[in-house]
Structure 1
């Protein structure tokens, strides 16, 4: 049942939710990247409409494929007859899983681009939405008067500049902690977006332009589509890459100066502690959770297979599904890319953490375990979708239909293998 939960959530993310992102985010792929002309768009078609993503998105897809290696190793246990040989396979798979988790966390410490994309995703889904209603005029456009008054309320020393410390007043008012955003990280991101000259101060004009830009993006996402698409000219690409690198270095320097090395290491220690605490709670609650699921399936007269593979994963993923659909409806390359990256990273963590906890229990308690069918289904679905997504940046609408079909097919595969072929 534990493996059913792991498989159910992973496959639901890669089929139903992944397909919904394309279905709700599709736009006319034939239009130029800077076009917002609705009248000249072609009629809807399965191949002419779809979504496009950036390069970083299929990099995260490749990271997701790496999580399939321990699942592939576990398949060796099906051909071994000795219990000692199967125990060795479990140990090797557990070791590889833990190694991947360690490398993943270490990589994000020194190359935090994955964290930056997640931060940007959360910002677009929570912060802009919270600011939108309070800063709009009756016409639906940004109210400059209200934004100017907000600037002077934040500018406590009345020097016509907002410093990083004063900016925290706005950050606390937005209540970013509701979605797990870190105040220091978000402060640095806001300074990067608002402080164009890079003098560590935000003027009234910069503040008004910055908030107005946020509101316009949230109000008219389709019109900003062209700004999100990359330019494929070599000279432009080199210039943008150089600017992006310089900007990242400047932002990194600001963060180091504001928070300091000591505070950074305290954040790492806190993150490690929370990770260990969450894992320990999962292990402690595993048995009562399984018992509750069995009692629930009996009480409502639903097979435990459907409860663990469909009902519970759906309950765990419904918030992520709503966020993904809302983000996809912006119909911009940036929004789609960030949403897909969130899905791929979620799958990697779900696979690695779930498998590590499960295999650790099997090995430490020396349990007799035959490789379950869920391992094979996760391996097949994730590998197929991973290979498809890690080489493509455009996905026509018909791919969403294919993704939807994969979900019932995966259920059917599990039913056939368990009922007619004797898999556990």
Structure 2
């Protein structure tokens, strides 16, 4: 049983029991001396009362039973409705699981581009869209009106759930002490230690994110524009005026959706963050599966603890030269074995991440103790990720094709192209948080010097021709075979200032700085990774276009026929089919249950459906956030904001389209207001601040029950 159906079933049972308290019968108890009591006017009914207590309507049948598609079972009482909702919701979660897994695999295969900017984003929120589209567009006007109410509740519930419950949990698990926070006992001698600890917890710890996370929160704020427009609809009393407002909101919402897609196509940094969000999880799965396969024993004991002896045996196997260290070549060999296995990972990314996670003292080698501690850390995280069930490893589909342009080798060895690829190789060698550029856009001299020490293998303070050749051989020049001797001679000529056929540290720093500055000037970008990537694309664009023009059809056909691609497409199709065919029966049973127990449909669609559909997202987001690092926290919260953006504008566009086409009325200002308030509070906080103190998690938690309270005041007590 998956985690999310359990949570959905438990929540549904609790809510149902509360709702059913008003649908019971009582029995008048007759005492022996009842003749001595004063009649209250109901004692004459004693003879006709049932000997059993029962729920009103629980076992009474109705004539509303309808078999969807001719084979899906139906119900005609409260118990049947609850059972149907639990089963259909579970199947819907399974369909969403297949859809998510297949979409992520396709995203990993195709990478950033049109698919990542459009199709992948839509697939991530497709279940919510289908709940509205299938149920409302293909129904009568009366049925569509009630089903749109369920769709509005699901839209509002999903956005509120992500920005309250999920957001607060990520802050809770990811909080760490802010640097420079200290409490003076002398100045606060009158405050108890308990209050000091509480103050430190609430304001002295929290989450820190990067600037791009704030930008994503700003985009989320822009997605609220259609909601603001819709709030104007209740001002117009005439239906024509209200219909005009709906049309305007629909046009604005669709325009925002298309603009969001186009923005990601032309500036794919959001796609790159989404892709990087899954890379860490893929690396974790592939690495630990390889460790498990070669550790000659169970990696995790029955008690759930890491098997230290098995990890040590694996370290000894990887340490080929028996120097009690895992060097970069040995780590590359280990990653190569992972790539050749069932679970494949991106080699450059894997090496950088493993070194960052395992190499604690940053000396470019991994000791046995560092290897054990790193494995322990990843095993602990993997145990939690495994519970989610979505941690699929990325399977590489790249195939090496023998180049056909050797005759143009002289043209390809222009120093600009060579240095572009070499700079990219250097950029991959450094840690994620230490690029070749500083924050102010200047060359990172300290990092460049550390690269010189790394390539100076004999430690004689100069890089010889042989050492330079060894460096060139480790650089990937794409699908073009180049002569290492010829390339190293060109680089030596460019770097060697005094003509001694040696590159000193000063010459190396000057040479790299010169090319880093040129890359910055050509691309007009100060971001290290993006600058070098763009410079490499610009200089190699002509060559790569020639390669892919001839080989593109063959490679594309090979990838399309691969099992990984077919399997991913099948998962997406199966997920879409399940979500599409089960959406309408689920909405019908929710409506029937709400009518039977006498509560608005929107309560169930606001609480139960978002909880079941998003509980997996909560599990998958908690543990990257719990790594307590800037990178994982930024990626986690960016994914939350991106999901809310797509939910707001795509689902709202679908709802407004159904309302406008069907000529339905729009009377959901309270739902729009709840979404506006919650998104505005969290969005403004995230946009203007890159740190989320611990107290913000309490704020986020409180917004969820407050949202429910607003619904109760409006629908139950008729408060306006």
Asked if Structure 1 and Structure 2 have the same fold, meaning a TM-score greater than 0.5 normalized by the shorter chain, the answer is yes
State yes or no: 1:5 paired with 2:154.
Answer: yes
CA, structure 1 residues 141+397, in 2 after alignment: closer, same or farther (shift >3 Å)?
Answer: farther
Q: If each structure's helix is expressed as a fraction of its own residues, which one has the higher value?
A: 1
TM-score (norm 1): 0.72
Tell me if structure 1 keeps the 8 A contact 2:246–2:660. Answer: yes
Query: In the TM superposition, what whole-angstrom CA distance separates every residue of 1:80-115 from its partner, at most 9, and x where no partner exists?
Result: 011111111111111111111111111112211111
Cα distance in 1 for residues equivalent to 2:637 and 2:209? 8
Alpha-carbon deviation of 1:58?
0.5
Q: Quote the residue 1:243 is aligned against.
A: 528
Q: Quote the residue 2:173 is aligned against.
A: 24
Q: SS of the residue aligned with 1:135?
A: helix
State yes or no: 1:342 paired with 2:627.
Answer: no
Q: Quote the residue 2:243 is aligned against.
A: 87
Q: Quote the residue 1:395 is aligned against.
A: 692
Cα distance in 1 for residues equivalent to 2:233 and 2:579? 26
* Match 2:616 to one of 309, 312, 319: 319
Cα distance in 1 for residues equivalent to 2:600 and 2:179? 47
* Match 1:128 to one of 266, 274, 284: 284
State yes or no: 1:109 paired with 2:278.
Answer: no
State yes or no: 1:77 paired with 2:226.
Answer: no
Alpha-carbon deviation of 1:134?
3.2
CA, structure 1 residues 161+135, in 2 after alignment: closer, same or farther (shift >3 Å)?
Answer: closer
Q: SS of the residue aligned with 1:174?
A: coil
Cα distance in 1 for residues equivalent to 2:433 and 2:658? 46
State yes or no: 1:173 paired with 2:342.
Answer: yes
Query: In the TM superposition, what whole-angstrom CA distance separates every residue of 1:270-324 from its partner, at most 9, and x where no partner exists?
Result: x9xx999999997876543320322455789986443211111110011100011
CA, structure 1 residues 249+56, in 2 after alignment: closer, same or farther (shift >3 Å)?
Answer: same
Tell me if structure 1 keeps the 8 A contact 2:174–2:625. Answer: yes
Runs of 5+ consecutive residues of structure 1 not aligned to the other structure: 33-41, 150-159, 176-185, 197-205, 222-226
Q: Quote the residue 2:212 is aligned against.
A: 56
Cα distance in 1 for residues equivalent to 2:352 and 2:649? 39
Cα distance in 2 for residues equivalent to 1:363 and 1:281? 27
Query: In the TM superposition, what whole-angstrom CA distance separates every residue of 1:6-30 from its partner, at most 9, and x where no partner exists?
Result: 1001001001110111101111112
CA, structure 1 residues 216+169, in 2 after alignment: closer, same or farther (shift >3 Å)?
Answer: closer
Tell me if structure 2 keeps the 8 A contact 1:294–1:304. Answer: yes
CA, structure 1 residues 53+235, in 2 after alignment: closer, same or farther (shift >3 Å)?
Answer: closer
Query: In the TM superposition, what whole-angstrom CA distance separates every residue of 1:240-295 from its partner, at most 9, and x where no partner exists?
Result: 7453223332675789949948789999xxx9xx9999999978765433203224
Cα distance in 2 for residues equivalent to 1:11 and 1:301? 24
Alpha-carbon deviation of 1:2?
0.9
Alpha-carbon deviation of 1:415?
1.8
Cα distance in 2 for residues equivalent to 1:339 and 1:300? 39
Q: After the TM superposition, which residues 243-282 of structure 1 pair with which residues of structure 2 at under 5 Å, given as runs?
A: 243-249=528-534, 257=544, 260=548
Q: SS of the residue aligned with 1:107?
A: helix
Cα distance in 1 for residues equivalent to 2:717 and 2:639? 37
Alpha-carbon deviation of 1:235?
5.7
Alpha-carbon deviation of 1:380?
1.3
Cα distance in 2 for residues equivalent to 1:367 and 1:168? 60
TM-score (norm 2): 0.44
Greater relative CO (CA pairs within 8 A, separation 6+): 1
CA, structure 1 residues 92+280, in 2 after alignment: closer, same or farther (shift >3 Å)?
Answer: farther
Q: What is the total number of aligned residue pairs between the two structures? A: 370
Cα distance in 1 for residues equivalent to 2:613 and 2:375? 31
Q: Give the number of the structure whose alpha-carbon radius of gyration is greater.
A: 2
Q: SS of the residue aligned with 2:202?
A: coil
CA RMSD of aligned residues (A): 4.5
